[in-house]
Amino acid sequence: MRVIIGKNNGFCFGVKRAIENAFSLQGEKRFVLGEIIHNEDVNDKLKTTGVEVVQSAQDDKIKSGDTVLIRTHGEPKETYDLLNAKKVNVVDCTCPYVKEIHSIVEKRHKDGYTIAIIGNKNHPEIIGINGWCDNSAFICENEQDLEAISADKLCIVVQTTFSEEKFDRIIKNFSRNKVKTVDIFKTICYTTTKRQKEADIISRRCDAVLVLGGRNSNNTNKLFEICRLNCDNTYRIISPKDFDYDKIKKFNKVGIVMGASTPDEQYQEVMSYMANVTEEIITTETVETETAKVAAETENVTVTATPTETAEEPVVAEQPAAAAKSEMEEAFDKIKPTKDLRIGQIVKAKISSATDAGLTLSVNNAKVDNFELPKEELLTENYNKEDYKDKIGEVIRVMVIGKKPLKFSEKKMEGVLKEEAEIEEIRSGKIFEAQITGTNKGGLTGKFGSYDIFVPSSQIRLGFVKDLEKYVGKSLRLKAEKVESRGARRQIVGSQRVILEAEKAERDAIRAEKEAEFFANVQEGDVVLGTPVRFAAFGAFINVNGFDCLAHISDLSWTGCKECSDILELGKEYEFKILKIDEENKKVSVGYKQLQPKPWDSVLERYAVGDVITGKVVRIVSFGAFVEVEKGIDGLVHVSQISNEWLENPVTALQVGQEVTVKILDINVEKEKMTLSIKALLPEVEKPVKDDEKTKGKKGGKNEETEDGPELHEWKDDVSGGVSIADILQNSDK
């Protein structure tokens, strides 16, 4: 199976920025106005960090000093006013393209224009835009809605994620009979346009298409509509794990399309469910070639005209929405003669003519005309000079890319403006990534766009870096310590150390908080649930409510063990008893065996005095031998109970490891002692007695007479020491 995906799948720049900011919000109470993006998984993960979603700035939960994030969709002007009045910390992540629409609408509304917004009336972006013209805008979802508007001056903007094809159709069919002046701003995000073109191509190429995105994602729904028009086997996927992948096994080519609020992890998750696949990425060149075959592009151009009092037809001005002005753009109105122009400068120029090779331009205050703007340097993907017949006189922004002769580029101008916008974010503290390309005596060097990167040795990591070369070719996360962009010098001095220090401080704070909570809720003797996380020769480390406790190996089993793994399994949950707490040194000892029954507790259920059992000799000492009755229970065979003969040393009769049969003479559960005898099971040895002593008894070595004659008192052996046969014979002689 071949899987085909677009180059512009997944998070767009604005969404990525908003999510990064949301997950790094600081403060005790943190809020987001509405879901950060239309993706359930991302929203669920964000909630676990303590960030709370509220639907309005009027929510009573928001207090002075709290942190509130405004998502990419933007908010009405009154929201900003309310948040400022509450004195909260505002993190504004409104998409730059949406912010530009706010500016357009606010300015045109003040100038007396009626505002029309093309898009989904219930979408938060539309609601936000409408709030910048006192909620007076007409929300239009089709040609009929737009046609119903009557106004002297009309300003038309469009939702950034709206279908480009549908917008072009609405504008084309707009008769303009009821208005005198119309300003049309095609404010569809360029990323949205690219996604829709890629979706169109993929769905035409493939046998089946999977469209990934949140349930409420407007741009994902648009992509689904585009794909469904071209491919009958188009499936909408909210959660990758819930989709039945058997549906697509029979297809040779499957396309995957992702909305702007879909994380890359979901694409990887989908791929993990599909076996034996080959991945193919739609390139920009493919999009340009195949789009040209499908339909002619509607250009995003600027046409300016001045209305007159006698004009019967409305005056139309179609203009692209621009990102917020950078420092470079502020100089547009102060252009010097061409001899003072420098390569890299952005200027305003007027279109003089259109040829097969491109456009010719005239620059303000220049003494010569007809400067070249090659078609390859236009933002237009498919150049056609006929499309520019009505654009002569339009003022556009371009960058100087050559001086002899003077040449301009619209593409490079757009790239620089984007870079400058990103540099401003970096200047404000945004974390960015840069590739390290080399070293010098002071640290590491690299590139970020047109900017040189320098990372001092002391700012690479928390500790000392001895070998700088190992970082070459690697990507570092950096935070700008200094940004220089004056003249030809464009450099960022960055630090990875400050990021690592901040992350460590955050981890330490979280750990300290967890430790304090842990020690406040445990005491010696408590029984707790814990999970073994790692083993050592001396014991096991047990995670109890996020805190690592030590279970010494001697506290794992009553019968002892050589390895912790003999008793416990990593990752499995067990009950442990808190044995000792040392809060000052942050140490806690726990035991596992203390909650398990001791072998001696039930010994009387299995053994009784007089029982004959088999055991193994495990230890020999001078006074006897210890026999293992079962694991954890040993019994003593005193030297006097090993044999009928006198033994000076037990080793003459027994050896370690030998199996023996013994008789239980005594069991003392309290002292955990068992007395055993081998001799008790041996045949009795007949004691020699003299003829003249047969009828006499002895006691203390003296004969005793009774009425019936002399009485014989038998000498009994003591199990603890006993009397030898030699002693008996010696006493009998006396």
Q: What pLDDT does 722 receive?
A: 43
All residues at 6 or more sequence positions from 172 whose CB lies less than 8 Å from its CB, including other chains: none
What the block records as the tokens of 306 is: 């001045």
d(CA 100, CA 103): 5
d(CA 232, CA 553): 64
Q: What pLDDT does 112 receive?
A: 93
Percentage helix, strand, coil, to 5, in the chain? Answer: 30, 30, 40
| Secondary structure E strands in 622-707 | 624-630, 633-638, 659-668, 673-677, 697-699, 702-706
What the block records as the tokens of 603 is: 């010994």
Residue 158 identity (one-letter amino acid) = V
Q: What pLDDT does 720 receive?
A: 40
Helix/strand/coil for 587 = strand
**Which residues form the catalytic set?**
125
As a whole number of Å, the CA-based R_g of the chain is: 45
All residues at 6 or more sequence positions from 75 whose CB lies less than 8 Å from its CB, including other chains: 33, 57, 94, 128, 131
Burial class (CB within 10 angstroms; exposed 0-12, middle 13-18, buried 19+) of 541 = middle
Residue 497 identity (one-letter amino acid) = R
Q: What pLDDT does 275 receive?
A: 63
CB 535 within 8 A of CB 516: no
Helix/strand/coil for 674 = strand
What the block records as the tokens of 248 is: 């697509």
Q: What is the reported pTM?
A: 0.40
pLDDT digits (tens, 9 = 90+) for 459-502: 998 887 888 999 999 999 999 988 887 655 678 999 999 999 99
d(CA 257, CA 267): 9
Q: What residues of the chain score a pLDDT lower than 70?
A: 275-276, 283-341, 364-370, 404, 486-489, 686-734
d(CA 632, CA 516): 39
Return the number of other C-beta atoms located less than 10 Å from residue 376's C-beta.
10
Best CA proximity match to 634, nearest among 642, 646, 624, 648: 624
Helix/strand/coil for 205 = helix
Q: What pLDDT does 102 receive?
A: 95
What the block records as the tokens of 144 is: 């009929």
* Sheet with 67-70: strands ordered across: 51-54, 30-33, 67-70, 89-92
Helix/strand/coil for 458 = helix
- The contacts found for 427-432 with CB under 8 angstroms, 24 or more apart, are 427/480, 427/483, 429/479, 429/480, 430/17, 430/20, 430/479, 431/20, 431/477, 431/478, 431/479, 431/499, 432/477, 432/478, 432/479, 432/480
Best CA proximity match to 474, nearest among 446, 441, 454, 494: 446
